[in-house]
Amino acid sequence: MKLKITMMSALFTVVAFVFSGVASAKDLRLGLIVPGSHAWTVAAAAMGDELKARSGGNYSITTFPSGQLGSEARMLQQLQTGALDMAFMTTAEITNRIPDFGALYAPYLVRNVAQAGKLLNGRVAQGMLEKLPAEAGVVGLGYGIAGMRLMLNAFPADSAESINGRKMRITPFAPVLDFYQLLGAAATPMPLTDVYDALANGQVDGVDADMELVWKLKLYERGSTLVRSNHMMFPVVGLISGRLWSQLNEEDRALIAEVTKIHLNKLFEQYTDIEAQMLENVQGAGVKVVQAEPEFFGDSLDQWEAIWLKKAPVLADLRREAAGVQ
Ligand code: BEZ
């Protein structure tokens, strides 16, 4: 009788252990608008592998690239309701909700992706993440980066005047809209997915993009001149649903935050190489490259600054910090 009870209790313990393991294992759904081949998606997948290994299988990640879950605006709503667990999202979309994030797009705030890494891990940018739970219903776990912004144009572009009156594709958000309107361009907001066709059919004359997109979206097939201005950085932020976060214990929060930050931060190193490689590819494809420095844009940069110091007062602080970044 005693043996029977001991065996039953052992069996019960095993069953309880197995079920508790199943109950706590969670596959986190992570959305992105960039394609599967993009460095952000590759980083998210590597993050999933590390999270799975370090959590003993309790957490895994399934990525949904190419806007499968909708636009970034839509994904942000899903994060708020808890329908989506995580996203690697442009801070452009966050700027649409919290204008202070527009400060990150100040022209020539940094000169390259390595400097962007230092600034985004600095006091001001990290402090901005603290606004996210209250103002957007999400928790910001860290920043990464895409390539510096430039233009691929289907017209000879050798001065700011040549951009005046041109239809320029922009990411749909205010800082870049202002930047192109100040240059006299007809800024045309458009998601990434529509850019190739728009350039091909003449809906736009040029595109605000980065070196990776010019190559991977094959924009170079439709544009003759690349203005290598590196005029803005383009951060990505790792987000987790505020609802999900509130249900996690401290240990799991710390692990997810650490692993997310590690993989987003790797992008700062990777993009130095990605930009160099993609430039070589694009030049090899016969595109003319025009190097542009801040002077290229004339007064428009000061005008942009004046507008955004009002819209995003944190810009003053960010500029001060950026001045010390080498
Ligand atoms: C863009 O809208 O240009 C963009 C979006 C996501 C990643 C990189 C660029």
Distance 190 CA to ligand 1 centre (A): 10
User: From atom 3 of ligand 1, which residue's Cα is the shortest distance away?
Assistant: 209
Angle of CA points 135, 148, 263, to nearest 5° = 65
Look at residues 228, 218, 191, 226 and name the one whose alpha carbon lies nearest to residue 90.
191
pLDDT tens digits, one per residue of 231-246:
999 999 999 999 999 9
Distance 309 CA to ligand 1 centre (A): 24
Distance 62 CA to ligand 1 centre (A): 21
Q: Which atom of ligand 1 is least distant from the CA of 208?
A: 3
Who contacts 52 (Cβ-Cβ below 8 Å, separation ≥6)? 59, 60, 61
Q: Which atom of ligand 1 is least distant from the CA of 33?
A: 6
Domains 27-146+234-276 and 150-232+278-323 share a fold: yes
SS3 for 283-297 is HHCCCEEEECCHHHH
**pLDDT value at 8 more than 90:** no
Q: Which atom of ligand 1 is least distant from the CA of 146?
A: 8
Query: With bands split at pLDDT 50, 70 and 90, how would you rate the model's confidence at 24?
Result: low
Distance 25 CA to ligand 1 centre (A): 33
- The average pLDDT across 291-299 equals 96
**Which alpha helices (H) appear in 144-225, and where do they start and end?**
174-182, 195-200, 211-216
Query: With bands split at pLDDT 50, 70 and 90, how would you rate the model's confidence at 52?
Result: very high
For residue 148, the 8-state DSSP code is P
Distance 171 CA to ligand 1 centre (A): 7
CA distances from 100 to 103, 158, 236, 260, 295 (A): 6, 32, 15, 23, 26
Ranking 5-19, 139-153, 267-281 by mean pLDDT, the lowest is 5-19
Give the residue carrying structure tokens 């527009």.
Answer: 102
**pLDDT value at 3 more than 90:** no
Share of the chain above pLDDT 70, in %: 93
**pLDDT value at 23 more than 90:** no
Q: Which atom of ligand 1 is least distant from the CA of 171?
A: 2
**pLDDT value at 12 more than 80:** no
Query: With bands split at pLDDT 50, 70 and 90, how would you rate the model's confidence at 316?
Result: very high
For the chain, the average pLDDT equals: 93
Phi-psi map region of 207: left, alpha, beta (phi>0 left; psi -120 to 50 alpha)? beta
Query: With bands split at pLDDT 50, 70 and 90, how would you rate the model's confidence at 22?
Result: very low
Per-domain residue ranges of the chain: 27-146+234-276, 150-232+278-323
Tell me which fold the domain 27-146+234-276 belongs to: D-Maltodextrin-Binding Protein; domain 2 (3.40.190)
The span from the first CA to the last CA of the chain, in angstroms, equals: 76
Q: What is the pLDDT of residue 287?
A: 96
Q: Which atom of ligand 1 is least distant from the CA of 172?
A: 2
For residue 221, the 8-state DSSP code is G
User: From atom 4 of ligand 1, which residue's Cα is the shortest distance away?
Assistant: 192
Beta strand pairing status for 235-241 and 86-90?
antiparallel
Who contacts 245 (Cβ-Cβ below 8 Å, separation ≥6)? 133, 139, 253
pLDDT tens digits, one per residue of 73-101:
999 999 999 999 999 999 999 999 999 99
Distance 145 CA to ligand 1 centre (A): 10
User: From atom 5 of ligand 1, which residue's Cα is the shortest distance away?
Assistant: 192
User: From atom 7 of ligand 1, which residue's Cα is the shortest distance away?
Assistant: 34
pLDDT tens digits, one per residue of 154-204:
999 889 999 999 999 999 999 999 999 999 999 999 988 899 999 999 999
Reading the block at residue 186, the tokens are 């007809």
Q: What is the pLDDT of residue 193?
A: 83
Query: With bands split at pLDDT 50, 70 and 90, how would you rate the model's confidence at 1?
Result: very low
Tell me which long-range contacts 191-200 makes (C-beta under 8 A, separation of at least 24): 191/33, 191/67, 191/71, 192/33, 192/34, 192/217, 193/33, 193/66, 193/67, 195/169, 195/219, 196/222, 198/169, 199/152, 199/154, 199/169, 199/223
Look at residues 27, 38, 46, 62 and name the one whose alpha carbon lies nearest to residue 236.
38
Query: With bands split at pLDDT 50, 70 and 90, how would you rate the model's confidence at 56?
Result: very high
**pLDDT value at 221 more than 70:** yes
Q: What is the pLDDT of residue 127?
A: 98
Give the residue carrying structure tokens 């999270």.
Answer: 51
Tell me which fold the domain 150-232+278-323 belongs to: D-Maltodextrin-Binding Protein; domain 2 (3.40.190)
User: Measuring from each residue's beta carbon to the nearest atom of ligand 1, which residues come in under 6 Å?
Assistant: 33-34, 90, 146, 171, 192, 209, 213, 234
Share of the chain above pLDDT 90, in %: 89
Q: What is the pLDDT of residue 158?
A: 87
Distance 122 CA to ligand 1 centre (A): 23
User: Do residues 266 and 259 touch, judged by C-beta distance below 8 A?
Assistant: no
Look at residues 253, 227, 229 and name the one whose alpha carbon lies nearest to residue 241.
253
**Which alpha helices (H) appear in the chain, and where do they start and end?**
2-24, 39-54, 72-81, 91-97, 113-120, 123-129, 132-136, 174-182, 195-200, 211-216, 242-247, 250-284, 300-311, 314-323
Distance 217 CA to ligand 1 centre (A): 11
Q: Which atom of ligand 1 is least distant from the CA of 212?
A: 8
Who contacts 324 (Cβ-Cβ below 8 Å, separation ≥6)? none
Distance 221 CA to ligand 1 centre (A): 19
Q: What is the pLDDT of residue 126?
A: 98
The pick from 170, 192, 195, 232 for probing ligand 1's pocket by mutation, whose C-beta has the most ligand atoms within 8 angstroms, reads: 192
**pLDDT value at 18 more than 90:** no
Distance 104 CA to ligand 1 centre (A): 15
